[in-house]
Amino acid sequence: MIEILELQTKHGKIKIIDDRSFQVGSEDNLHLYDYIYKANDENYYASTQFGIFTSDAQAILLNNGGASGLHEHCYVIDDITLLLCVGDSIFCLGIPSLELLWISQVDSACCFGIYKISDGFIIHGELEITRINTSGNIVWQHSGSDIFTTAKGGDTFKIENDIIYAKSWDHRRYKFSLSGEVLI
Q: What is the pLDDT of residue 153?
A: 79
Choice among 5-19, 36-50, 69-83, 153-167 with the minimum mean pLDDT = 36-50
Question: Residue 168 carries which DSSP code?
Answer: -
CA distance 98 to 101: 9
CA distance 33 to 75: 20
Strand, coil or helix: 184: coil
Question: Is pLDDT above 90 for 64?
Answer: no
Mean pLDDT of the region 66-71: 93
pLDDT band at 40 (very low <50, low <70, confident <90, very high): confident
Sign of CA dihedral 175, 87, 53, 132: positive
| Distance between first and last Cα of the chain | 31
Q: How far is CA 34 from the centre of its chain?
A: 21
Q: What is the pLDDT of residue 44?
A: 67
List beta partners, residue 113.
124
CA distance 94 to 83: 9
Sign of CA dihedral 116, 65, 174, 158: positive
Mean pLDDT of the region 16-32: 95
Q: What is the pLDDT of residue 3?
A: 86
Dihedral Cα 132, 133, 134, 135, nearest 10 deg: -90
pLDDT in tens, 127-148: 999 999 999 999 999 999 999 9
| Cβ-contact 14, 52 below 8 angstroms | yes
Mean pLDDT estimate for the chain? 95
Question: Is pLDDT above 90 for 89?
Answer: yes
| Cβ-contact 94, 101 below 8 angstroms | yes
| Cβ-contact 75, 16 below 8 angstroms | yes
Mean pLDDT of the region 61-86: 94
What are the structural domains of the chain?
Answer: 4-177 (2.40.10.480)
Mean pLDDT of the region 174-178: 98
pLDDT band at 28 (very low <50, low <70, confident <90, very high): very high
Mean pLDDT of the region 34-43: 87
Q: What is the pLDDT of residue 132?
A: 99
User: Residue 14, exposed/middle/buried by CB under 10 A (0-12, 13-18, 19+)?
Assistant: buried
Mean pLDDT of the region 56-82: 95
Question: Is pLDDT above 80 for 41?
Answer: no
| Cβ-contact 114, 66 below 8 angstroms | no
